[in-house]
Amino acid sequence: MEQSLLSPVVHEKIRHLHPGSLVDLQFSQPSSLRIRTSLVGYEKNRYLVLKLPQQVIDGAYKEAFVEGNITVVRCLLEGDLGECIAFRASIKTISHHPVHLLFLEYPQQIENRSLRAKQRIRAFIPAYVNPVEQGALPENFSLYNGFVIDISPCGCRFSMKVHADSSQINKVSIVLELLVPGEEERIQIPGEIMNCHLELQELSLGIKFELPERQVAKMLQRFIVDTAIAS
């Protein structure tokens, strides 16, 4: 389902972007071009700051990267939102000193589309993440214990404190163990780590479950009262 959002609601979407978030730029003038870069930051209602793509730094596509040219910007909002947002923006300026940066106008309107068949609900469930193959996760992670902070029958987001590089964690098969309050038994759900973000020593893992939705929903009935998600 697509929606059109007007300011100030626009900022409620933009604020979920973080430095390093991948950004897709699509140009139609002077020729068709699609190129990827990443977010550096933004100032509300003024501009977005992106890394200038390396291809442009090396001298390519300069006819598209000029002040005033319009681009369609697409980004993924992960976490509990699970949305793709898109908006049109013009290039405000390009900076080459001290670093190569691209400044875009702040969007006034955003199109957003949900990427999930089932929306997740917020949770706070103690859990462990165990790799299926030993050594699949960095050795300097001493304990993979943390909390599931949102969940649906399709997947969840797992958060943990960490002092390690998260760049190796992607497409790793795991078993998620949920701790049931007052019981020794743990609920085990096989899954796959689809993405990760490290911010202020807090690691967030996006996990896709590999069991049928009905089976997972039945498991979650021990935690979740909302019948829309646990049925």
Classify residue 1 by its DSSP letter. -
| Tens-digit pLDDT profile for residues 60-87 | 998 999 999 999 999 887 655 567 888 9
CA 98, CA 201: separation in Å to the nearest integer?
28
Give 77 or 217, the one with higher predicted confidence: 217
CA 47, CA 204: separation in Å to the nearest integer?
27
Q: Do residues 7 and 96 both lie within one domain?
A: yes
CATH of the domain at 40: 2.30.110.10
Q: Which of 97, 114, 131 is the last residue of a domain?
A: 114
Rg (CA), the chain: 20
Q: Which residue is associated with the tokens 């199109």?
A: 111
CA 51, CA 39: separation in Å to the nearest integer?
6
| Tens-digit pLDDT profile for residues 87-122 | 999 999 999 989 999 999 999 888 876 655 556 677
How many domains, the chain? 2
The answer to whether position 209 is within a domain reads: yes
The answer to whether position 231 is within a domain reads: no
Global pTM exceeds 0.75: no
CA 17, CA 137: separation in Å to the nearest integer?
26
3-state secondary structure of 218: helix
Q: Do residues 101 and 129 both lie within one domain?
A: no
CATH of the domain at 144: 2.40.10.220
Q: Do residues 24 and 98 both lie within one domain?
A: yes
Domain range for 80 is: 2-114
